[in-house]
Amino acid sequence: MTTTDPIERVFALQRASRTARKSTDSVARIAQLKALRDAITSRIDTIEMALHSDLRRAPNGGKEGEIPAVLGEIDIAIGQLEHWMAPQAVPTSPHFQGSQTFIQYEPRGVVLLLGAWNFPFALALSPLVPIIAAGNSAIIKPNELSPETAKVVADIISAAFDPQDVAVFEGGIELAQRLQELPFDHVFFTGSPSVGKQVMAAAARHLSSVTLELGGKCPAIVAPGYDLVDAAGKVTGARFNNAGQLCLSVDHVWVPSAVVEPFCQIISAVIDKMFFVDAELQLDRLPRIVNARNFDRLLGYIDEAVALGARVVRGGQHDRETLTIHPTVLVDVPLNARIMQEEIFGPVLPVLAYDDLDQVTAQIDANGKPLALYVFAKEQAFVDQALLHTSSGGVTVNHVFMHYVEPNLPFGGVNGSGMGRYHGHAGFLELSNPRSVFVQADSVTS
């Protein structure tokens, strides 16, 4: 029976075309990726206008940020897809000499892709690249908190794809719940750990596989003797990028007790250079908080921390009308404050003092496994100890974000910060079923 519900109709259409899509070769899939690339590059100004409207993100001509990130993923897939798709020969054990054994990569099927609001363009379209490269179809729900970008994503998809391959539905929580009632073969979600649990529970009803890109309290650790200017500059950039609304942000930083004050002074100077002119905050340099609920949440964190004994050494000013919170630095923050228990996801940086690395690693372990760990140290022994006594999705040493930026490294979380990996070849593998094939010796003729 034909359904009139547009979601069910598109879902049925994509399920019905799974076999045909599975048989596509690299040439056909590359053509789809090129169509996606063309649809993006012809709309760069429109994409940037939407991001500015949703998040007050400053346009840069598509040279930095979300647009080149997606285009880079597309280019890597186009260049490597034929190699990725090739069956992988597996050595046959002595008992089965003469038989053929190999792994054949087949699509997972129909994928539900749930985008995030903080990078609403890239986190809707970057995962789409391996979805298409692996031969899947997709239904995308962009995040409703970035409505202008959602419209542009829908326009791009309608220009590049037939709905039987990729479709977009715009809406809020009710739409997300409605989509999760359908038996998708795979669900790809980027967002908070709390919502990730709901997504995983819904997928479990259909035994759908999942990729969850979540977050957590990503710490930075500065070793004794490390260059404070270098560490403070990189930490500041990582904390206040996108007003701290980034899953890879430095959530808090541990520094030796003796250098807390000079470290904070350097951070303050970097903040001045990044965001201020003649002591005036430049709103075009600092994205706004996404909505009033998150604005109030962040102010609540700051107020509670101060009530418990924390000190604001920089920032703290805020403007509800523009949803702006000045870059804020806290010291003497009690570990039982909510700001040290919950992911901050805003322009607030606790600077924590330590005298013993074991104290730091114990606290990191108590907060669960973060998406990223940042270690600033010149001694390999310090780095080794930090890695041995912590667990995280990824690590960057003496810089920030680099384990994400490097396309040959799989990106993802662990436990509370996510599951599954993507980027480059890892994304193709994540969105494929590695099908083991054994062919009995001399049993099949060509």
Residue numbers annotated as active site: 213, 247
Q: What SS3 class is residue 302?
A: helix
Q: Find out whether 297 and 347 touch, Cβ atoms under 8 Å.
A: no
Half-sphere exposure of 287 (CA within 13 A, CB side): 26
Q: Find out whether 295 and 325 touch, Cβ atoms under 8 Å.
A: yes
DSSP letter (8 states) at residue 399: S
DSSP for 359-390, written as a single string: HHHHHHHHT---SEEEEE-S-HHHHHHHHHT-
- The angle formed by the CA atoms of residues 113, 118 and 122, to the nearest 5 degrees, is 50
Angstrom distance (rounded) from CA 404 to CA 233: 19
Torsion sign, CA atoms 148, 152, 153, 155: positive
Give start and end residues of each alpha helix (H) in 208-334.
Answer: 228-240, 260-275, 292-307
Half-sphere exposure of 209 (CA within 13 A, CB side): 15
Nearest by Cα to 81 from 129, 127, 133 = 133
DSSP for 2-42, written as a single string: ----HHHHHHHHHHHTHHHHHT--HHHHHHHHHHHHHHHHT
What are the Cα distances from residue 63, in Å, to 43, 66, 259? 14, 9, 37
- The angle formed by the CA atoms of residues 433, 435 and 441, to the nearest 5 degrees, is 170
Give start and end residues of each alpha helix (H) in 110-255.
Answer: 122-125, 128-133, 147-160, 173-179, 193-204, 228-240
How far is the first Cα of the chain from the last one, in angstroms, to the nearest whole number? 41
Rg, the chain, Cα only = 24
> What tokens does 67 get?
């647009």
